[in-house]
């Protein structure tokens, strides 16, 4: 079996992405072409570039789960929320700030497929035993502490809401589709 066939299988699977991913498929093809001509360094650069574009797509997909602003409020979605995720072990994140007419501010942050998320799961699961207040929203358990409410969706997506009023934080969480979020793949 030719050596390049082994590399072609994963790349071929990635090339089967939707047509909207033209830049990505072109980059993956460029990586494969470079590999086949022996330019391993350029192939690696192209794979890194394709990976960064795929992470951008996954980040946009995760941001789709951010709740709309409540009536009369404004919402500002962060465009660089995922910029530092590589330094935190990888994964993707999405964030939005919400501003009430009375000046109160809230933020919703989501972190998916990140080692930090795994480390938070024990704390959230044992929030009651640790003396933290807990709340249920649908089938999801959330830890409530001071001006923060956080929960873990499908054991891989940390959802955190910061803001002064626990009831408002809860209403922002209630506006989220946790069932669809559990199936999040990007």
Q: CATH number of the domain that 152 lies in?
A: 3.40.1000
Residue 146 CA to residue 136 CA, distance in Å, equals 17
Looking at residue 137, what is its pLDDT? 92
Looking at residue 110, what is its pLDDT? 94
Last residue of a domain, one of 18, 40, 62: 62
Is pLDDT above 90 for 86? no
134 and 112 in a common domain: yes
Mean pLDDT, range 78-94, rounded to an integer: 66
Q: What is the pTM of this model?
A: 0.76
Residue 86 CA to residue 95 CA, distance in Å, equals 16
52 and 20 in a common domain: yes
């Amino acid at each position: 079996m030719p050596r390049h066939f082994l590399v072609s299988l994963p790349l071929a699977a990635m090339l089967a992405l939707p047509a909207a991913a033209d830049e990505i498929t072109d980059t993956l093809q460029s990586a494969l072409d470079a590999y086949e001509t022996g330019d391993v360094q350029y192939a690696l650069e192209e794979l890194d570039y394709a990976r960064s574009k795929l992470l951008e797509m996954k980040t946009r997909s995760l941001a789709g789960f951010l709740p709309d602003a409540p009536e009369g409020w404004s919402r500002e979605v962060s465009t660089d929320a995922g910029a530092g995720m590589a330094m935190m072990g990888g994964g993707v994140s999405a964030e939005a700030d919400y501003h009430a007419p009375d000046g109160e501010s809230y933020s919703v942050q989501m972190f998916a497929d990140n080692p930090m998320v795994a480390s938070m799961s024990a704390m959230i699961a044992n929030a009651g035993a640790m003396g933290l207040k807990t709340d249920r929203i649908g089938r999801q358990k959330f830890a409530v502490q001071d001006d923060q409410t956080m929960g873990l969706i499908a054991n891989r997506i940390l959802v955190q809401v910061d803001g002064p009023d626990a009831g408002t934080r809860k209403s922002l969480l209630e506006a989220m589709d946790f069932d669809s979020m559990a199936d999040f793949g990007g």
